[in-house]
Structure 1
Amino acid sequence: MGKPAAVDRSTYEQAIAEFDLAICEAIAVSQASSWRQATMNVGYASYVFTRMCGAGVSFIRAAPKSRWVRADFDDWQLGAVAGHARSLLDGFLLFNYLIEPAKSEAEMGARINVMHLNDCTRRIELHTNQGLTQHLEGFGKQREELRQRLEQNEYFKSLPAGVQKNCLNGRFLMIDTRDEMLAKVGFQKGQFDALYDLWSQHVHVLPLSFYRMEPNGRGTGVENEADRGYIAQALRIGAALLTQATDKMVEQFPETASVRKGTKSKFRPGPSENLPPKPAPVQKSSPPAPVKESLLAAAMKKIYGR
């Protein structure tokens, strides 16, 4: 993917407005769908959707000229938003993988348990690399249990031997490959690879991110045509990813459609104009009226003096 077309300030503001609308509606739908009953795969997809919303919030707070922050200056470099944009790409593929209806209980179980096994394997590696041994035995038992579940799963046993091997060793997060998921969501592989590579180069501070730096220009944080164009491109792609994911969430939870009100959507936390109205203060109840002393109580007081 080559350099995006020249983007002036007005066009950039349109791009951030598109992203603003998309993230507002996404968060509103995410909050409106919380704690609702769903199938196992939709439940996990909703967690991914929540993390996509988190990446979107970080994105729009880092983007120049955002109404979501007050700052003394704007940081006009692609590196400021590249990580958040890439997170949306990753989240979008996993979200679609999980929310896709399974043809059988066995298929759903296999997809979920492959994800569990990948997570467990990564936790073992993380703790081992940090020299933390306290939970390794427990993680090891969980890993073996997950492997046994998969080895006994009829759908999993029908998969190619190579796929089974990579799933069982914890390498695969999804049964479907990235290329297969890209085809399912209609994302051209070449475009995806170019975007992912471009944003990753800036996340990891590789030569592509600094070879073309210019004094008081590209790559310095000062507003410039190149970074403005790349940030606008990332905003528009991120807006499309969030909107498509939000559409799928509303398909699963139709009652949440009413909360999609563009940049006027209500959610918390968020910009002041998006906060829901505060609930009316609870009225303090009047103190109970004093109980009139009965004749019996008065008589007993005279007798006993109290």
Structure 2
Amino acid sequence: MEIQLTAEEKRQLNAGYNQALADFDKATCEAMAVSQAIGVQMAEAHIGHSTYVFLRICNHAASIICSVPRSRWVRADFEHWDFGGMAGHSRAILEGYLLFLYLVEKPGSAEEWSTKINVMFLNDCTRRIKMMGNAGADVKGLEAQADELRDRLTSNPWFAGLAGQVKKRCLSGDNLMIPSRDEMLENAGWEKQHFYAMWDLLSQYAHALPISFFRMEPNGRGTGLENDVDKAYIARMLDWCAETLTEATNRMVEAFPGTAEARKGTKSKFSPGPRSNRPGAPNRGKIKR
């Protein structure tokens, strides 16, 4: 059975949702403004690669804020309260942030960076082989590229110093990153049990698995109509994603100090976005935050 909220609890949930949306709006605006303020600048390789992941995180954030109810980013004459609409994008932000942290960290040597980037290249290459092979495409060129990447890794002294099982998984193309996910969670400061609980919930909704529909209720949870469960789930993920976006933006500003002035909350300038956020557009009136 679903727990019925009192009128006061519903009021608090509604206010909490509105605040979470405002915080996420601000974080998204600042992240996109900083990303675009970076433009084309010279940077060390690890910083340069991290900007691409940061941009992908920004795009997932924009997709979320265009899909959640009461967003100023879109005009609609109805509200669609479906947690599944943001689940996949939320999961992408969380996993993207772990990869971002992995790349943005300054390597200890050229050999370490070469290992990190070639492990990522090999993971990408093997996934393309599988994907394109299933589509019936010729993958001989990709297979040759994968062999070349393995040669680069096995001849790298830094790679040679890794544990045997880690090297095995890297050479198979299974590893996107050298550290395990648990190690990256610790690096991010995220509590492991909480992360996996939320990760499993997001996965259920992103893939339309049974948890996402076994407890659907008439005129309520899982139907798209306004309901306490979906509202609470959406608010919680808006909060977490806003915090994650802010931390990633902080790291980008550290790498590119000149972008700090682009951070102006919901008045930040970027495109595409709401009309008031477009470069050159005046900010008329007070923006609700």
Q: Deviations over 1:29-68 (max 9, x none)?
A: 0001121111111111110000000000001001111001
State the identity %: 52
Alignment partner for residue 124 of structure 1, among 112, 124, 129?
Answer: 129
Q: Deviations over 1:127-149 (max 9, x none)?
A: 0011112xx12111111111111
Q: CA offset at residue 207 of structure 1?
A: 1.2
Alignment partner for residue 257 of structure 1, among 250, 254, 260?
Answer: 260
Q: CA offset at residue 121 of structure 1?
A: 0.4
Which letter does structure 2 place at the counterpart of 1:124?
A: I
Q: Which residue of 1 aligns with 2:249?
A: 246
Deviates more, 1:41-50 or 1:8-17: 8-17
Alignment partner for residue 275 of structure 1, among 263, 275, 278?
Answer: 278
Q: Which residue of 2 aligns with 1:167?
A: 170
Q: Which residue of 2 aligns with 1:67?
A: 72
Q: Does 1:143 align with 2:146?
A: yes
Q: Which residue of 2 aligns with 1:196?
A: 199
SS at match of 1:84: helix
The separation in 2 between residues aligned to 1:70 and 1:8, in whole angstroms, is 23
Deviates more, 1:7-16 or 1:31-40: 7-16
Q: Which residue of 1 aligns with 2:287?
A: none
Q: Where does the alignment leave 5 or more consecutive residues of structure 2 unmatched?
A: 4-8, 282-289
Alignment of structure 1 residues 1-306 onto 2, 5 Å: 7-133=12-138, 136-277=139-280
Q: Deviations over 1:167-196 (max 9, x none)?
A: 011000000100000111110101110111
Q: Deviations over 1:102-141 (max 9, x none)?
A: 11110011001100000000000000011112xx121111
Which letter does structure 1 place at the counterpart of 2:137?
A: L
Q: CA offset at residue 72 of structure 1?
A: 2.3
Q: Which residue of 2 aligns with 1:284?
A: none
The separation in 1 between residues aligned to 2:276 and 2:189, in whole angstroms, is 35
The TM-score with structure 2 as length reference comes to: 0.92
Q: CA offset at residue 218 of structure 1?
A: 0.6
What RMSD in Å do the two structures reach over aligned CA positions? 1.2
The separation in 2 between residues aligned to 1:238 and 1:262, in whole angstroms, is 16
Aligned pairs, number: 273
The separation in 1 between residues aligned to 2:158 and 2:183, in whole angstroms, is 18
The TM-score with structure 1 as length reference comes to: 0.87
Q: Which runs of 4+ in 1 moved over 3 A?
A: none
